[in-house]
Structure 1
Amino acid sequence: LFCWCFYVVFFLFFFLLQSLYVKVCRENHSTLGGKNQCHNFPSAGTHCKSRPLDLVFIIDSSRSVRPTEFEKVKIFLADMVDTLEVGSDATRVAVVNYASTVKIEFLLKTHFDKAGLKAALARIKFLAAGTMTGLAIKTAMEETFTEESGSRLANKNIAKVAIIVTDGRPQDTVEEVAAAARVAGIEIYAVGVDRADMKSLRLMASLPLDEHVFYVETYGVIEKLTSKFRETLCGKRLSENACMCEAQIAFQMKMQFTIQELRENVAVFELRDS
């Protein structure tokens, strides 16, 4: 009877202690210290590892976009960069800035670290003129998604992704050039803000449209899309919660000591009982 009671109590203790370690970890405290840290992982038990991309942001800085709003777009891009694994063998990022003319701010081969990339984003200047979205897509396809500009070969199986951010109606044709870009293997996401023409966004974007067309009411809330894109661009969803993994390590260390103590106590009890 004693043995059965002992094992019941032991297993209850086992599960309660492990749950405690997970709870502590999820509250942004490390159970171990050192490199085994857990911070801000979702409690649902999954987190995302971003896949390598050749990613080009195509941003509208036409007259309809106020300078203060353009700064919010730059903050959004910087926040997006923070969610990515940036590097020559990871995600490469380029930016195409457009109004009535198109300016390639930097290429996919230019920046392979987040610090340099975010500094370059901060230096982008507002153009303030028309809205030549079709020309911007064509420029991105022909001048940034090329091997010479840092885009990787098709046999590397690196996804080519363009994210267009605009608040207006294109002053040129977008349907044909966007279709050509998609045929060339470029996945297009269209983000509309405020007065953006939804029909044009749908003509530009890849299918399915409900996964590639986004809309926000103002530039003031565009940062809400950061988490959405983090999930959308997720390459590998890790089903094992990092807190659970860390907690198990700490738990095992604790249990090794606890089990040894329990064995010694049981041995003493059995000797007395005999």
Structure 2
Amino acid sequence: MKSRLSLAAAALLALLLYSSQAQSQDTQCWTPAKADIVLLVDGSWSIGRLNFKTIRNFIFRIVSAFIIGPDRVQIGLAQYSGDPKTEWHLNAHPTMESLLDSIASLPYKGGNTMTGLALSYILQNNFKPEVGLRENARKIGVLITDGKSQDEIILKSKSLRDAGIELYAIGVKDADENELRAIATDPDEIHMYNIKDFQFLVDIVEDLTVNLCNSIKGPGEEVKAPTNLVTSEVTHHSFRATWTAPSGHVDEYRVTYVAVTGGPVQELLVGGFETTTGLEGLTPLTEYVVSVYSVVGEMSSEPLNGTETTSATNMVVYDETSTTMRVRWEKADDATGYMLLYKSINATEPQLEREVSVGGDVTNVLLENLIPNTAYTIRQYALHGEAASQPLEEIGVTCASYSFSSVTHISHILKYVQRHGLL
């Protein structure tokens, strides 16, 4: 059964979408990187129930920007006042739906502002492997508070940073800016926010989302491109492209192809577990540039590029006699000429390969002076200036020849058959 938002979460989401002050829905964080984020929320009496609802809406907006899941972003939350409390651990909500449900029903705790105690608490209780912390994930803590701490915070926040946890500090109204700077990871212009009132939290949603997303990506984080592009199965109207997948997760591949001479760029999407696709509906004797991109969410890798040239159209060998045969083919667009190479493959003596060249308007050639009862390989190249297409190949076989005595012998046999009514 599909999971659904609770009525509270659905109502909250509707309110956010309706509000004229709502964050643009274009602010999203699409990245293959993993992150474990613990939100540390001040629930002291100075906040008040109405402002706590505003904080809840603020968290709802921020969380909605990420891809939630065991292989992407996990979010835990602890609320503090006099004594910190874990509302849910990192691994408690593997889906966006269940996480938003919990945010919508987050209770207001009440109590004193013991920020130092709360910082120690999340290090000892929330950033732990047994509750979902992953070794290869970015570790991020986000503090939201409205007042000055009633205990020591400098050493407590340093312990978190020394453990490799990147800290954001968001202060509202009566928060102490010096404390916020001491808690936040450098640089302060990225990790520290000091807001005059709760109603202005909405104004930092977009900037905070972007900064958090950059923290999740980390320095130099990018989607890896595929490698080793190979083309095969070339015909006059299609060919196949195959590549090697990069390490790491890929949602899908975007394959584009366009004629070197210009024209519309064609695009198709291939599932992330597939590494080959056929390109069809192409023009004969045309060179194409193929580009393959890894796609994760809305992020794309650098392209893997290659080229391939389609062959000329189909060729037919017909009207074979003992010393001649005809070859015809369909005209290739923009061909300036054609070259045919042919050679016997079962003659009693080795034969040199012969060549016939014709203009671009010719699509039918007579091959003469052939050896009777002999197979010939025929290769046809469509020419476009100095460029040659992939060859079309066929085999033609000349008929056997008969001497005069053989013909006379056959004639006698036919007369005998007719005389005795055998025909």
Deviations 1:33-74 (A, max 9, x none): xxxxxx9758xxxx8524421000000011110111101111
SS in 1 for 2:110: coil
The yes-or-no answer on 1:194 pairing with 2:173 is yes
Q: 1 CA distance for matches of 2:65 and 2:124?
A: 27
Match of 2:140 among 161, 179, 188: 161
Q: 2 CA distance for matches of 1:74 and 1:89?
A: 25
How is 1:137-156 mapped onto 2 (pairs within 5 angstroms)? Answer: 137-153=119-135, 156=136
Match of 2:98 among 112, 116, 122: 116
Structure 2 residue identity aligned to 1:131: T
SS in 2 for 1:210: helix
SS in 1 for 2:45: coil
Q: 2 CA distance for matches of 1:159 and 1:213?
A: 19
The yes-or-no answer on 1:80 pairing with 2:62 is yes
Q: 2 CA distance for matches of 1:233 and 1:104?
A: 22
The yes-or-no answer on 1:177 pairing with 2:159 is no
Q: 2 CA distance for matches of 1:172 and 1:101?
A: 12
Q: 2 CA distance for matches of 1:231 and 1:118?
A: 20
Q: 2 CA distance for matches of 1:161 and 1:117?
A: 17
* Residue matched to 1:55: 37
Structure 1 residue identity aligned to 2:139: K
The yes-or-no answer on 1:227 pairing with 2:215 is no
Match of 1:252 among 260, 265, 287: 265
SS in 2 for 1:49: coil
Q: Which TM-score applies when normalising by structure 2?
A: 0.45
Paired residue total = 210
Match of 1:104 among 69, 76, 86: 86
Distance of aligned partners of 1:48 and 1:74 in 2 relative to their CA distance in 1, 3 Å threshold? closer
8 Å Cα contact 1:52-1:85 kept in structure 2 = no
SS in 1 for 2:91: coil
8 Å Cα contact 1:160-1:185 kept in structure 2 = yes
8 Å Cα contact 1:63-1:129 kept in structure 2 = yes
Q: 1 CA distance for matches of 2:127 and 2:203?
A: 27
Q: Which has the higher helix share?
A: 1
Q: 1 CA distance for matches of 2:106 and 2:65?
A: 20
Shift of 1:223: 2.0
Distance of aligned partners of 1:133 and 1:227 in 2 relative to their CA distance in 1, 3 Å threshold? same
Structure 2 residue identity aligned to 1:150: G
Question: Structure 1: which 5+ runs fail to align?
Answer: 1-38, 239-244, 260-266, 268-274
8 Å Cα contact 1:53-1:159 kept in structure 2 = yes
Q: 1 CA distance for matches of 2:222 and 2:179?
A: 32
Structure 2 residue identity aligned to 1:96: A
* Residue matched to 1:271: none
8 Å Cα contact 2:29-2:65 kept in structure 1 = no
8 Å Cα contact 1:48-1:237 kept in structure 2 = no
Deviations 1:190-211 (A, max 9, x none): 0011110011111111111222
The yes-or-no answer on 1:210 pairing with 2:189 is yes
8 Å Cα contact 1:86-1:113 kept in structure 2 = yes
* Residue matched to 1:131: 113
* Residue matched to 1:20: none
8 Å Cα contact 1:58-1:96 kept in structure 2 = yes
Q: 2 CA distance for matches of 1:103 and 1:41?
A: 34
Deviations 1:239-270 (A, max 9, x none): xxxxxx9xx99x5359xx9x9xxxxxxx9xxx
8 Å Cα contact 1:56-1:94 kept in structure 2 = yes
Q: 2 CA distance for matches of 1:110 and 1:53?
A: 15
Question: Structure 2: which 5+ runs fail to align?
Answer: 1-23, 224-253, 259-263, 268-280, 284-333, 335-423
Shift of 1:237: 7.1
8 Å Cα contact 2:29-2:67 kept in structure 1 = no
Q: 1 CA distance for matches of 2:198 and 2:99?
A: 22
Q: 1 CA distance for matches of 2:203 and 2:67?
A: 20
Distance of aligned partners of 1:81 and 1:40 in 2 relative to their CA distance in 1, 3 Å threshold? closer
8 Å Cα contact 1:59-1:165 kept in structure 2 = yes
Distance of aligned partners of 1:41 and 1:130 in 2 relative to their CA distance in 1, 3 Å threshold? closer
8 Å Cα contact 1:49-1:237 kept in structure 2 = no
Asked which structure has the greater CA Rg, the reply is: 2
SS in 1 for 2:97: helix
Q: Which TM-score applies when normalising by structure 1?
A: 0.69
Q: Which has the higher strand share?
A: 2
